[in-house]
Structure 1
Amino acid sequence: ALLPWPERVHNGYRVLQEYFCFPESFFFFHLRGAMSLPDDFPLSHFTLRLHFCDPLPGEVKLDNRSLRLYCTPAVNLFMHSAEPIRPDGRALQYPLLASRRRPDAYDIFRVASVSSHTQAPEEASGKGKNRQIWPEFESFDHQTEFSGQRKVVYWQHRTKTSLLHRGTEHTVAFIHADGNPPDPSLTENEVVTAELVCTNRMLPEQLHPGDVCVAVGKNPAVASFSNVTCPTRSLYPVTDDDRLWSLISCMNLNYLSLLEREALIEILRTFDLPGIHHPQLARLSREKLDAIERMETKPVDRLFKGVPIRGLATTLWINPAPFVSEGEVYLLGAVLSQFFALYASTGSYHYLQIINTESQKSWEWQNSGQHPLM
């Protein structure tokens, strides 16, 4: 996976989101079964020939640029300090800005931490000596306090759709554990700063292949590098209430509920963020999901170290017509196999089979499971 993910959210949904948002990140393969070469191999290069069992589609043209070595996905995320905030108690929430001078060059992906320095009223400038780390409201760091005697103040990151520019506006609120604002005396002498995980907003969309080639930061690269593809489009979170309820409903489904065709299609559609932003992509995605014609799941047993282990076997019948090639069908199966594997319980496993309804060709992912078999 590429993007940071909340620890309290199931990793299976992370795979689905990145499949829809960054399908190119799955275009990698490992070469297995090749004979290893000795360190003192006398030649400086060799030829690797790949033989395909089926003819490639007519529109697929392979050349020297189709396969690249030493490639890895890169994400436009970096740490950045927010503009200081003075929570004087006059507002319920305060603007959270990455940069006042260059608002078009920064956007907030996540708030990593919030801290403050106490500033005496007579100080015109400068930081105080007492540094305080503020706990997050949506965390497990809440302290037990009596109602009416609350002293601990939490921060809460809030977003809403911007009316001035594309994307979202960010604010931070300071509240007690019950959601009520604190007494101004608890925050009015504090100068609050936040450590942010930021992006460069829309600027990466202006880059072309080869433009990302300059090392920055404290540790310069030891080898030259450049991007071989264009950066993907920025996709902002959807704040529509119906979408949020669909997301919550999907996360409440248990493992067995996911093994029904309608539930699986609804989950995939919920995490199709590009389809939400672009109607044309939504139509193509809908056709591909509707191509899942049938889904069957049954319990199966297999021997593991002489002991029978119970697992589940799922078979999907997919019509390949909406897909560009069989490779897209295979990629969907590989992602679903990983998704089901992350849901497999301890001491169990999941077996997935996908059948092409036109050619009756099938692909299998066996012994899939993320937990140890007991």
Structure 2
Amino acid sequence: MSLSRYFQDELDHLRRSGDAFAQRFPGLTKYLSSRATDPDVERMMEGFAFLTARLREKIDDQLPEVTQSLLMLLWPNFLRPVPSMCIMQLDPIPGAISEVQTVPAGAEVHSIPVDGTVCRFRTACRAEIVPMAVEMVRHDVSRAASVVTLRLRTLDEQPVTDLNLRVLRLFLGGASYSAQTLNLWMHRYMRKATMGTEGFMLGLDAEAIRPVGIDRDDAVLPYPDNAFMGYRLLQEFYTIPEKFSFFDIDVPSLRFLPARTKELTFVFEFERPLPPDVRIEASSFQLNCTPAINLFKHSSEPIRLDGRRTEYALLPARIEGSELEIFEIEEVNGWLPAPDGRSNGISRTYARFESFSHEMERADDRHAVYFREKVSQGFAGADLTRTLSFIREDEALENRTDETISVSLECTNGVAPTHLGIGDLNRPMRNLPSFVTPRNLTRPSPPCYPLVDGSLQWQLISALSLNYLSLQDAPALRNILMAFDFPARTNMQRERGAKLRLEGIETIASERVDRLFKGLPVRGMRTHIGMRESHFESEGEMFLFASVLAEFFALYATVNSFHELLVQGVERGEVYRWQPRIGNQPLL
């Protein structure tokens, strides 16, 4: 419960009980009655209610000092907000490039001003920029099958064979229902895929079309190296599901094409017709796209460490008119002036208290200095406030001198990006190559904030401490998945959809299986999940959800083992099978 609720409860209690006391003992008090209007008494009652509310909050908080320290040490990402994210398109300028070029991750794009705030996004993944454009998309349907034809054309009439094109990455755009359904057909119901130009078509291998979004290189949310990557996949599915709508096509050598060919056509033949309400149009296939996230480097307001307080507020350095929120602390530095007042002071770096660097400080015979971060719920509700406390082994020596603390931060623009529309992120910055023009294809997602309530953090720690036994029971799996759905905690509509989706997991069972891998027996696990199709917006959404679960299970499998997932629709009987995946979790 938030502090405002505690405050309102205490104030209501004071007014009700004060009125009853004044009626029972009218000679003792004349100020507690509801008919009294003395403003000084009102202020005193509000102040007392506020202090009592803080006390009740502390009594009910279930030791967040313990849970936060554990999360800060092992899973610090769950004490950070999830920033706003979107899909960015980097269109090449005609005539600027003649072959495929690479834009590295971290290229920065700014938005138009929103109430005085310029939102700053950076690309999360490397993007291969292809100097081509979508010329035509056609959908031919019969009673037994569907055929989708995609034709691309070079921008400056240069031959396709000169582009140095090896891998073509496409983003499935348009409405989410159509994009997710087309994604299902691309990876589940593909009968044959060909590419080339009229009269010169070449068949593609079954492995030539690959889904994108599950590999570590495709990560959008920053995660610590020691964190389990399966958790990142779950968080990204709940906050930016569009990132799983990318796919790669391995392009074979184009030497079989006529020398001056300026077009490249892909034909996708499916085993069954697409649903009639799926719209296939030019926007269904987008080139030169990559996810982007609202993150940028910033610094804090300086902190004067005078030793007179136990906690110091951590605030980002103010930029006039801008909305700033802290994502994470990168580095904390202190500066001690020289005793004689000269400029050659002492600079030192503070280590995080929840770390394994304590013995290193003592081994190097250095004075240990640490900082400890405390995250609490802001008075506004969803936002977070952060304070720092400092531990200095040389405190007794330095209490005569004020130390200045500066903090390097990663920041976001809070909720400001949610006011942006499609195309409003269009201002390239210095580290974005000059041969592209940026624009956002999707509206930025709303940021999500972790709830720092102690009981919820204990639930999260329980979910993070999972094992295979935790994954073999449908109610337990639902609880684990719900723990990572941050948007559902603050959005009632999202909460209803999340509960319906999780209730669609009807059964789960696992069995040990043995397979031969390169002539050697390997033991793994096969999991069968029964899902109810009507609990999902579409079959495409259920397939995407199950695909993320397949990778989540596989990532949790131990080294030298594997995992195989089978999902069966309870209502229609459709069976989806994923290839066995080798695990990467070390045996304990």
Q: Is TM more than 0.5 here? A: yes
Which amino acid letter does the alignment assign opposite residue 139 of structure 1? S
Deviation per CA, 1:79-107: give whole Å up to 9, x if none. 11111111111111111111235485211
Cα drift, residue 57 of structure 1: 3.3
Aligned to 2:386: 170
SS in 1 for 2:375: strand
CA separation of 1:293 and 1:68: change in aligned 2, threshold 3 A: same
Cα distance in 2 for partners of 1:315, 1:168 equals 40
The answer to whether the aligner puts 1:141 opposite 2:354 as a matched pair is: no
Aligned 1:46-65 pairs, distance under 5 A? 46-65=264-283
Which amino acid letter does the alignment assign opposite residue 369 of structure 2? V
2:309 aligned to 42, 67, 91, which one? 91
Cα distance in 1 for partners of 2:431, 2:543 equals 41
Asked if 2 retains the 8 angstrom alpha-carbon contact of 1:150 and 1:176, the reply is: no
Cα distance in 2 for partners of 1:348, 1:99 equals 49
1:111 aligned to 320, 329, 333, which one? 329
Aligned to 1:37: 254
The answer to whether the aligner puts 1:261 opposite 2:474 as a matched pair is: yes
Deviation per CA, 1:171-204: give whole Å up to 9, x if none. 1111269xxx954826943211111011111221
CA separation of 1:294 and 1:72: change in aligned 2, threshold 3 A: same
Aligned to 2:413: 200
The answer to whether the aligner puts 1:237 opposite 2:450 as a matched pair is: yes
2:566 aligned to 353, 356, 362, which one? 353
Cα distance in 2 for partners of 1:190, 1:226 equals 45
Aligned to 1:157: 373
Aligned to 2:318: 100
Asked if 2 retains the 8 angstrom alpha-carbon contact of 1:89 and 1:183, the reply is: no
Which amino acid letter does the alignment assign opposite residue 262 of structure 2? S
Return 43-52 or 234-243, whichever deviates more: 43-52
Aligned to 2:244: 26
The answer to whether the aligner puts 1:70 opposite 2:283 as a matched pair is: no
Cα distance in 1 for partners of 2:283, 2:538 equals 20
Cα distance in 1 for partners of 2:228, 2:343 equals 41
Cα distance in 2 for partners of 1:297, 1:60 equals 35
The answer to whether the aligner puts 1:132 opposite 2:333 as a matched pair is: no
CA separation of 1:167 and 1:104: change in aligned 2, threshold 3 A: farther
The answer to whether the aligner puts 1:280 opposite 2:498 as a matched pair is: no
Relative contact order higher in (CA < 8 Å, ≥ 6 apart): 2
Aligned to 1:313: 526
Deviation per CA, 1:26-76: give whole Å up to 9, x if none. 1112235x6442398421122223233333334421210121111110011
Rg (Cα) greater in structure? 2
Aligned to 2:150: none
Cα distance in 2 for partners of 1:122, 1:110 equals 36
Alignment gaps of 5+ in structure 2? 1-218
Cα distance in 2 for partners of 1:77, 1:99 equals 15
SS in 2 for 1:353: strand
Aligned to 2:510: 297
Cα distance in 1 for partners of 2:422, 2:551 equals 31
Deviation per CA, 1:279-307: give whole Å up to 9, x if none. 11111111111111111100001101111
The answer to whether the aligner puts 1:82 opposite 2:300 as a matched pair is: yes
Return 198-207 or 210-219, whichever deviates more: 210-219
Is the helix fraction higher in 1 or 2? 2
Asked if 1 retains the 8 angstrom alpha-carbon contact of 2:554 and 2:563, the reply is: yes
Which amino acid letter does the alignment assign opposite residue 335 of structure 1? V
Asked if 1 retains the 8 angstrom alpha-carbon contact of 2:528 and 2:566, the reply is: yes
Cα drift, residue 209 of structure 1: 1.2
Deviation per CA, 1:2-28: give whole Å up to 9, x if none. 111123322211111111111111111
